[in-house]
Amino acid sequence: MKLETLIKPLGINISKEDESIEIDGLAFNSAKVENNYIFVAISGTHKDGHEFIEDAISNGACVVVGEENLSSIGVPYIQVNNSRKALGLLANIFYENPTQHKIMIGITGTNGKTTTSYMLKHILESAGISCSLFGSICTIINGVENISTHTTLDALTLNQLMVTSIDRAIIMEVSSHGLAQARVEGLRFDYCIFTNLEHEHLDYHENMESYYLAKQSLFNYLKPSGIAVIKSDSIWGERLCEYVSSMNREVIKVNGTDPTHIISNESLVLNKRHPLSYSINNRMKGKHNLENAALAFSTAVSLNIEPLDIENSLQHFSGVPGRFEMFQHPNGANFIVDYAHTGNAFSHILETANLYNPERIVHVFGFRGNRDVQKRSNMIQISLNNCHTCILTFDDLNGVPTQQMIEELTSLDPMNKCVIIPDRTLAIQYAWDLAQYNDLIVITGKGIENYQQKFALPTLSDLHTLNYLNDSFVHQNQYYL
């Protein structure tokens, strides 16, 4: 592809001499540069791509794009205001707008993105619409599944993967980090869905206003004919509805003031003028999962899928890996593994756990090092208010020294109401040994994510730890079974 073809749509002028340069690829990692590539220098959190321009040129870069005012680097240099945005736009042009004939659906919010995306994928595929999925658990393209490294991939990887999709629809979880870092720049969405906004990621966004504005920015990527589906029974949801309406885009409001659709018990009432009620009941218990189902239902209806077909599809939805995933203890207790890692998410999952009428609820959870510390006290209080036993442990240290993290956990429990076991696998083992018939042990924070450091037991994840403990139990008791 000629440089002119890539650059001109960005409104950037280049010399006639440079217009005919042949471009064979793009990269923002100098180590991935090959001959005739454009290297996009990005200022990252830990490294500045501008420091690797010489390496990129040595590896074959014939053009460099960056933010700094540079000259005489040996190849044409194009200065831009925002390298991340430029990367997204360049990738979209280079891969010839791979989503232009797809049904594009973006989902943002603090909680519920993954569950809503899986529900919607299930509904659409039940109706014969094949779906690619980009999310925090995995990427699924043309039926092939790969474990995800980020909730929202970088713009270049997104376009490289989407160009391989032959699916009719693409469903994408869009994180606030991904939006702040322009990872979806160049994409346009037919539907944008908002689940909720709760205290989270303030280590990155600093305050709720900044966090909200990052989420709001997804709706700037709606196509002119695009539709917003918003759970609007909060100040953030109502504010977002007003913002999208001011852009002259259609808004489907779920709950809130003057709603389009209303959640009533386990049903969704469509169209307040001519109300028709449909069940949104599914195998995933809890009020929050009914809300996720309502958003998926509302989107599917807008896609002209018959409501009765959607209702039937939801009843056969099997669930989401690592979201309220059940595991039975040999003595009759039950374990639940879930990704919940905010105060509201704790409230939802522990309220749902109570629906099972357990003898006791034991809660195992931890915190991640170098993450939002403001939410921690509230999470502990919610757990103590809803559980018989609260076991505090680590999620991921993220470079924080072990002793420092222990001190932080201890300081959060001045009344010694919690059991503190720093090693996550030993904390789960403690709960395993504690479990009695009809107890419910809830393990939150990681879901199906792998551990980032080694713990005492030779396991890779919370579910792996439970399987390991179960195998050990069976081995130790095999002569008595």
pLDDT tens-digit series, residues 181-193: 999 999 999 999 9
Model pLDDT, residue 317: 94
pLDDT at 349: 92
- In the DSSP assignment, the letter for residue 222 is E
- pLDDT tens per residue across span 357-380: 999 999 999 887 776 677 788 889
Q: What confidence score (pLDDT) does residue 246 get?
A: 97
- Residue 385 has what pLDDT? 92
Which pairs count as long-range contacts for 372-377, CB under 8 Å and 24+ apart, including other chains?
372/199, 372/200, 372/201, 372/202, 372/203, 372/204, 373/203, 373/408, 374/199, 374/202, 375/199, 375/200, 375/202, 375/342, 375/343, 376/412, 377/412
Share of the chain above pLDDT 90, in %: 68
Q: What is the pLDDT of residue 199?
A: 66
Q: How far apart are CA 412 and CA 392, in angstroms?
A: 10
Closest by alpha carbon to 38, among 9, 72, 2, 81? 2
Q: Where are the alpha helices (DSSP H) in 368-461?
A: 376-386, 402-411, 424-434
State the pLDDT at residue 429. 96
pLDDT at 214: 92
Once rounded to an integer, what is the mean pLDDT over residues 52-69? 95
Max Cα-Cα span within the chain: 84
Tokens of 28: 């923002």
